[in-house]
Structure 1
Amino acid sequence: MAERRRRTVRDLRRANRSVLLRRLYFDGPLSRQDLARETGLSPASVSNVVTELIEAGLVVEAGSVESDGGRPRVLLKTAAGYGHLIGVDVGETRVVVELFDLGLTQLAKADHPLADGGRDERAVVRHVLDGLSAVVEGASVDPASVIGVGVGVPGIVEHGIVEHGADGHGATGRGPGAVVHCQTIGWDAVPLERMLREGTALPLFVDNGAAALGQAEMWFGAGRGHRSAVVALIGSGVGAAVVIDGSPYRGAAGGAGEWGHTTSRVGGARCRCGSRGCLESYVGAAALLERYRAAGGPAGTGEEAALAGLLADPSRAAAELREETAEYLGAGIADLVNLFSPEKVVIGGWAGLLIGGRMLDRIVDAAAAYALRRPFARTSVELCRLGPEAAAVGAATLPLAHLLDGGGPAA
């Protein structure tokens, strides 16, 4: 019974640290009095926890403000220099590795193009590991200061104790780590975390890239202040993060959010996943540019330059393709509205920002035409505010979330 009581007290202290740390991180600077009023914790509990966080170096004083008739109130904030976060965006055209301080100010970046659409997982692992070394050394950072490395990947990520079958990656059996399933690039139960751990001792956090982007956009971008939203990631492929009542919805097997593989047209264009008529085969950059080249568009240019060219092309064929894309994307957004009735749909990803920046009005009009009137009237559609490289920021929020949820260093 005594051991059970000790665990309960420790868990309560950790929960209190997490509540206060989150409030300071997202809303600081705040005074101790502000923290007690806004969290409902007693002044004594706030004082004790704040003292612990200051001693750990995670919270610092940030000036003071006058109080009503009493002593000035000391303001507190999280210390941006407490440690470092690394975000890794594993895309189909490149691997981007970015180093941040705790305030998510970028300190270094490494960018490694992929020539094969990301199909060779061993090459991806090499690029990630090379990128980790490059940003840590480039910013002259002590590896011990790295709180964690977040890795955002396409496809479904399976966590926990997983089966390592006859997949060409070593012995069979069971082991810890994140395993990635992504049909579009041919990844079938790739033990990515285990492969990365063979080359780095840094703490790793692997998750779906759209889910990571969604977390960042809900914390710092267009979703901030909302409890229900869908954040769409449109790049070479298409995915989405669904947030319901403030929490991400992942489904029974962690595969929720594969919006790009919902059916937009029965018997339609062949998708890279092997099915037909998927939304991704109409609005994903890879499929869109394939159709553009078939309609006479230039070949041999990179995806981003080619998509920018399509959006600026005055030809009739390009204009028709743009109109079709806006309609398919609007219809896909209408599906999200009808299914989840979110407060907001946020369009992100490098391709989503390019397309939305040129055609957002037409996309919204198409969504309105296909959605039920009542839920659509309560939804807004807008672009991601964190920019075209937000996926790396999103990945960096994975170790940040772990730090905040745990209330900082071990309590």
Structure 2
Amino acid sequence: MPSMQNTFLPLCRPALNDADIDAVVAVLRSGWITTGAKNAQLEQMICQLTGATEAVALSSATAGMHLALLALGIGPGDEVITPSLTWVSTINMITLVGATPVFVDVDPDTLMTTAEQIAPLVTPKTRLIIPVHFAGASLDLDPIYALAERHGIAVIEDAAHALGAQYKGQPVGYRGHCIFSLHAIKNVTTAEGGLFVTSDQALADRIRRLKFHGLAVDAFDRETHGRAPQAEVVEPGFKYNLPDISAVLALGQLERLDAITAARQALADDYIEKLRAIPGITPLQDPVHEHRHCRHLMVVRVAPERAGLDRQQLIEALKAVQIGAGIHFMPAHLQKYYRDHYTARYARDMPSLPHTTLAGGQICSLPLFPAMTLGDIDRVIDALNTIVNQHEK
């Protein structure tokens, strides 16, 4: 049997158990494997969790962002304010509907944006703000919503990292419009998938139509338990529905969400304490407002002047000792397409993004998933200590 040191420790691993796998098998045997009763159950559970009245299960969070932009009428001539430090799918969707992304900087300690940073970027063309909950922490939402209300601007919370997080005692998703990811690396997963959450029934109904060809009813009629043959296309739509063989995976995880979050928190606490002794490897600071962190990612900043090596060197050194690491994220304004087509075009008007740019070259995600042990944390910490000691000047 290989030793622990020779076994690869991945960056993440889904929190699935045998009951989750059995649930998928049961759906496969049921005769209905596409969008159906399990989707309806998933949407109901998310409403119960968040307090929102409407939830729409989708094939991805990216699909949710695309449909939300369309449903809100965002298009050519409109500006959408959002951080550059996010997964590029948000920026892609803004661009693909013909709108202009306006990048806002982030707080240097939490890597989340603030109302103070957003306010100077608001113009008469601003139609939407998409703030990002990062790494499992919640944004300071009250000032952002207050700013948006003053200007009559919509808000969509990008909560891809924040299922199970709370803001001032309320679950993320309890207000406004919110998008969660259920991708394979997320705290709750359907392998691929996402959720649009809102208390605006008309908006939710339009997203339901758009997700399935623009039909006037869902693929699964909840009264007849089958397809309604008389369904007509109300408007052109897409194919963004989530199959039940995926949706069912999330149900057991949602029932265990508190335990999953607690396990992640215990591991993160151990990381944070032990990282104090390693020069140049610093975890992000938690927000100062009242919140519950769901510890989606264990993000650290690598300061070359103190650690003796840069972020890429650290990732390669960890890989050499069978420890996975990742980058969340390369800033969108530094991606090739947006360097060539956006940054150059709007160079004179583009706001300075010093904190985003600096963090983009420093941040590194360390392994974190509920099945890890404190011994796994010690293995990562020992490796970091050895690597930094070898690179001390």
Please report the TM-score for the alignment, with normalisation by the length of structure 2.
0.31
More helix by share: 1
Bigger CA radius of gyration: 1
Larger proportion of strand: 1
TM-score (norm 1): 0.30
